[in-house]
């Protein structure tokens, strides 16, 4: 998958396009039914754009996204509508997308109306059921968005995503705006709902501790690329990519006996308009070799289901 955003410059041979921000730059992965795949990386690494592109909230520049046998990017009309029901998104701040003049009940019934699910009575019943599942009270049905706390708003966001009975939920920083105590409530709720409705999650976040808690597998993104993917235990026990090693070294460990050194990366993240040649991480990598500047490493399976893109594992 690739998603480039054009950057406007003066009108010239490129028709006013100066260059491109390479937000998602050749990412490949699988999402298995029933699992939670966590996507982690610093802000600007392309993880949100990747989630939005898969849902067709923005058009891809290149690539394919298969849901079963169907390429989501080739669908239109009724088929696309069906996918839009099956795949829902939860955002960091659901409040910004809730109409302040509508009651919560109305807001939650809208997706059912859009997808022509049930009659008026059935929609109300379904909304009541979902509100109960996410821990809201019956009388909340008649309240307005501004009457809710951050945690409750995220419960509303979850109810709105789940009311149409989706298969896949892509959540983008769903707890980042919440207090730590509320974060764990929402994470627990996400896990309960996943078990009850057999949901598949793509969980995007910058906080690796949160991602670790909820994910079966984790993909690590840097500068628009997925540099490592592994089952959660495997990633934490044996991080292979130097970027992942640096990310994990900053996470506090529960056992003070097992001291570890924090790896401080030199330099800034390069601009996604002009990513480094060869390995995109070579400008900051403590292990960079000559080959890293010339050649982009290809992804290899270094251990069981543990994928990494780094020359250290291919060119010893």
Interaction site with ligand SF4 (CB under 6 A):
241-242, 279, 281-282, 285, 287-289, 292, 297, 310-312
Cβ nearer to ligand SF4, comparing 127 with 308: 308
> Which residues lie below 8 Å from residue 74, measured CB to CB, with a gap of 6+?
none
DSSP string, 261-308: PPPPPPSPPPPTTSPPSSSTTTTT-TT--HHHHH-PPPPEEEETTEEE
Interface region with Mg ion, contact rule CB under 5 A, candidates 46-54, 130-138, 149-157, 218-226? 46-54
CB of residue 272 vs ligand SF4: minimum separation in angstroms? 17
Buried-state track 178-207, b at ≥16 Cβ within 10 A, e below 16: beeebbebbbebbeebbeeeebbbbbbbbe
Of the pair 43, 298, the CB lying nearest ligand SF4 is at 298
SS3 203: strand
Q: Which is nearer to ligand SF4, 263 or 288 (CB)?
A: 288
Whether 108 contacts 148, CB under 8 Å: no
Q: Closest separation between CB of residue 172 and Mg ion, Å?
A: 6
Tell how strand 200-205 and strand 168-172 pair up.
parallel
Which of 36, 48, 152, 283 binds Mg ion (CB under 5 A)? It is 48
Shortest Å distance, C-beta 25 to ligand SF4:
15
CB of 233 to Mg ion, least distance (A): 26
88 close to 158: Cβ distance less than 8 angstroms: no
Instruction: Mention every residue, 6+ apart, whose C-beta is less than 8 A from residue 125.
Output: none
Q: Which residue is nearest to Mg ion (CB)?
A: 48
CA distance linking residue 120 with residue 113, whole number of Å = 9
- Residue pair 278/295 in contact (Cβ under 8 Å)? The answer is yes
Q: Is the Cβ of residue 1 or residue 285 nearer to ligand SF4 in the bound state? A: 285
Contact partner, 208, from Mg ion, ligand SF4, none, Cβ < 5-8 Å per class: none
Binding partner of 32, given Mg ion, ligand SF4, none, CB within 5-8 angstroms per partner class: none
Q: Which stretch binds Mg ion (CB under 5 A): 43-51, 101-109, 158-166, 271-279?
A: 43-51
Q: How far apart are the first and last CA of the chain?
A: 29
Return the number of the residue (67 or 313) whose C-beta is nearest ligand SF4. Answer: 313
Min. distance of Cβ 225 from ligand SF4 in angstroms? 11
- Residue 48 interacting partner from ligand SF4, Mg ion, none (CB closer than 5 to 8 Å by kind): Mg ion
Residue 94 or 297: the one with the smaller Cβ distance to ligand SF4 is 297
Nearer to ligand SF4, 121 or 266 (CB): 266
Query: Nearest Cα to 226, choosing from 168, 299, 301, 173?
Result: 299
To the nearest whole angstrom, how small is the minimum distance from the Cβ of residue 215 to ligand SF4? 22
Is residue 171 near Mg ion by the rule CB under 5 A? no
Cα–Cα distance for residue pair 48/60, rounded to 1 Å = 13
- Interacting residues toward Mg ion by CB under 5 A: 48
């Amino acid at each position: 998958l690739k998603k480039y955003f054009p950057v406007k410059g003066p009108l010239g041979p490129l028709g006013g396009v100066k260059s491109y921000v390479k937000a998602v730059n050749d990412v490949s992965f699988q999402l298995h039914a029933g699992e939670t795949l966590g996507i982690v990386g610093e802000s600007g690494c392309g993880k949100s754009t990747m989630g939005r592109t898969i849902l067709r909230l923005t058009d891809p520049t290149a690539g394919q996204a298969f849901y079963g046998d169907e390429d989501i990017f080739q669908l239109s009309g009724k088929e696309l509508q069906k996918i839009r029901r099956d795949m829902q998104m939860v955002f960091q701040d659901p409040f910004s997308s809730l109409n302040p003049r509508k009651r919560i009940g109305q807001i939650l019934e809208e997706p059912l109306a859009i997808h022509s699910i049930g009659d008026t009575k059935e929609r109300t019943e379904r909304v009541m059921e979902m509100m109960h599942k996410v821990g809201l009270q019956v009388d909340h049905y008649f309240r307005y968005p501004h009457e809710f706390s951050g945690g409750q708003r995220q419960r509303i966001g979850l109810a709105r995503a789940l009311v149409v009975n989706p298969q896949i939920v892509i959540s983008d920083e769903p707890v980042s705006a919440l207090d730590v105590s509320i974060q764990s409530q929402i994470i627990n709720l996400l896990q309960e709902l996943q078990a009850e409705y057999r949901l598949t999650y793509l969980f995007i976040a910058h906080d690796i501790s949160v991602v670790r808690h909820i994910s079966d597998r984790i993909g690590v993104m840097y500068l628009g690329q997925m540099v490592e993917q592994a089952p959660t235990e495997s990633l934490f026990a044996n991080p292979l990519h130097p970027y992942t090693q640096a990310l994990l070294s900053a996470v506090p460990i529960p056992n003070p006996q097992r001291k570890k050194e924090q790896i401080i990366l030199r330099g800034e993240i390069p601009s996604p308009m002009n990513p480094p040649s060869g390995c995109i991480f070579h400008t900051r990598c403590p292990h960079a070799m000559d080959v890293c500047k010339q050649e982009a490493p290809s992804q290899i399976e270094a251990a069981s289901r543990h994928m990494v893109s780094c020359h250290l594992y291919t060119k010893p």
